[in-house]
Amino acid sequence: MAINLWIGRFLIVHLENPVVSEHETVSATIEHEDELPEDHPRYQDLLTRHRIETGVEKGITHLQGMHAEGRGSAFDYLLGEETIPSARKAERAAAAHLLLADHPVLSINGNVAALVPGEMVDLAAAVDADLEINLFNRTPERMQAIADHLREHGATDVKGLEADARIPNLDHQRAKVDEDGIYEADVVVVPLEDGDRAEALEAMGKTEIVIDLNPLSRSPQVAEIPIVDNIIRAVPNMTEHALTLADADTDELRAIVESFDREQALEAAEARIRGGL
Ligand code: ATP
């Protein structure tokens, strides 16, 4: 039944939008994202792919980031490429957590830097958080390219280059963090995170906010706040919530955090993916 619905949806989308494949070929030759047709039914997906391709070309994103993006894109398709109500609640709870935090840090990897550099800078400003680069495939060149890219998008202070502390129980490269950044943070936003590192951060007692389109992936499964949404939508939504809640008192923020049900959020996302609209 569910499969028939999926096939039906696939056919409807493709029959209603016979130009999809034409635009998909066009995107490979597009040099700047402004050239992407905004009225295209899959505009956001084209934009995401274009940003990842550019990230790889600039040495910001590892080639494996393309696989990660492909996985995310498939889940987003099944979610309907929109922020579902449970994700919106998670984004609001995440904003409240960040505003309550003593030392919040936003973790940046190669895909995050390629997809939402300016949006992460805006979120950091709205909740007074640090930005820290944390890579699975860490090289000095990629670290520097990402730091430069974030600065081009308005970041003033970028952490992660010192790497003077280690996340316990992780192998060497993936464990590297800044002592005055992720190591000491109480709340960390870890988008598109590898499951091992998410589990190791959770074991350190951090409050983890994970953005991941796959609700079954280990990272959202261990997160206090799993946000099952495309990072392209999730980060601006979190910033909007943070700005709206800027004058809220501690009791109101705590009430938002406490009323969030992580199990329900994960179940709602899985139900949408398996069952459709
Ligand atoms: P595990 O957590 O079990 O290690 P994995 O190996 O699939 O899972 P990674 O490849 O480390 O995870 O990370 C990629 C994750 O990021 C995938 O779960 C994918 O769904 C998600 N993802 C990819 N692109 C986006 C995006 N634009 N927005 C949100 N999530 C995304």
Provide the residue ranges of all domains of the chain, joining segments of one domain with +.
85-275
**pLDDT tens digit string along 56-83?**
999 999 999 999 999 999 999 999 999 9
- The per-residue pLDDT for 50 is 93
Compute, in angstroms, the gap from residue 164 CA to the centroid of ligand 1: 27
- List, for the chain, all residue ranges whose pLDDT scores fall below the cut of 70: 1-28
How far, in Å, CA of 245 to CA of 174, rounded? 34
Residues with CB under 6 A from ligand 1: 48, 68-69, 71-72, 75, 115, 192, 194-195, 211-214, 217-219, 230-231
Domain 85-275 coded CATH 3.40.50.720: no
E strand residue ranges, the chain: 104-108, 130-133, 158-159, 165-166, 176-177, 187-191, 207-211, 225-227
- The per-residue pLDDT for 13 is 44
Q: Measuring from atom 18 of ligand 1, which residue has the nearest CA?
A: 214
Averaged pLDDT of the chain: 90
Residues 123, 239 contacting (CB under 8 angstroms): yes
- The per-residue pLDDT for 180 is 97
- DSSP 8-state class, residue 230: -
- The per-residue pLDDT for 28 is 54
